[in-house]
Amino acid sequence: MSLLSALSVSASGMAAQRVRSELLVENIANSETTRTAEGGPYRRKDAVFSSTPVPSAFSSLLDEQMGSSLMGVTVAGVSVDTREPDRRYMPGHPDADKDGYVAMPRMNPAEDMVDLMSATRGYQANVSAISSVKDMIQRSIDILR
C-alpha cells in the first residue's frame, strides 16, 4: 500500500465534508419553511460520519486481510431531527392551526453557520493533506532524475 492510498483517504474526507456542507446549507435555506413534501415544517438534517477502511483499486488481498489501518470517512446516513417542531403564535398565517399557532422548524441558524465554518475548515485541511502527499510523491519521483 503506497502513499497513493493516502490520496484516497483525503478524497473521502473531502467528499464527506462536502455532503455535510450541502445538508447544512439546506438547513440554513429552510430555516423558515413551514410546508414540506412530507407535510409539516422542515426538519433539520445532519450527516452521520463513520470511519471505514479505504478500498483502493491497487490494494492487494494481503493488505485487506491484514486490516488496513488507513481509515477514511463516509457518510453513513442522514439523521433527521425528530423533535417536536416549534410552535409560534402567528394568527393569519395560511398554515396556522385552529389556535393560531404555526409549526416552525426547530432550528438555530447560528449553530448551522458555525457548523458550516467547521465543515469548510475540515475540507481545507483535507485539501492541504492532498497537496502535501502529492508533494511527497513528487519528491520520490525526483530521486529518479
Partner 1 sequence: MIDGLTDSLEKYMDLLSARQKVVASNIANVDTPGYKTKDLNFQAEFQAASYLNNPLPVEVPDLPVKNDGNNVSLDREARLLAENNLRFTLASVLIRSDLATIKSAINEGKTSA
Site for partner 1 in 109-128 (CB under 8 A): 118-119, 121-122, 125-126, 128
Cα separation, 145 vs 129, in Å, equals 25
Greatest C-alpha distance within the chain: 79
**In angstroms, what is the minimal distance from the CB of 26 to partner 1?**
17
Is 105 a binding residue for partner 1 by CB under 8 A? The answer is no
**In angstroms, what is the minimal distance from the CB of 82 to partner 1?**
18
Is 33 a binding residue for partner 1 by CB under 8 A? The answer is no
Is 27 a binding residue for partner 1 by CB under 8 A? The answer is no
Is 57 a binding residue for partner 1 by CB under 8 A? The answer is no
Is 136 a binding residue for partner 1 by CB under 8 A? The answer is yes
Is 66 a binding residue for partner 1 by CB under 8 A? The answer is yes
Cα separation, 7 vs 70, in Å, equals 11
The closest alpha carbon to 78, from 49, 48, 52, 36, belongs to 48
Return residues touching partner 1 (CB under 8 A): 1-3, 5-6, 9-10, 12-13, 16-17, 20, 48-51, 63, 66, 69-73, 118-119, 121-122, 125-126, 128-129, 132-133, 135-136, 139-140, 142-143, 145
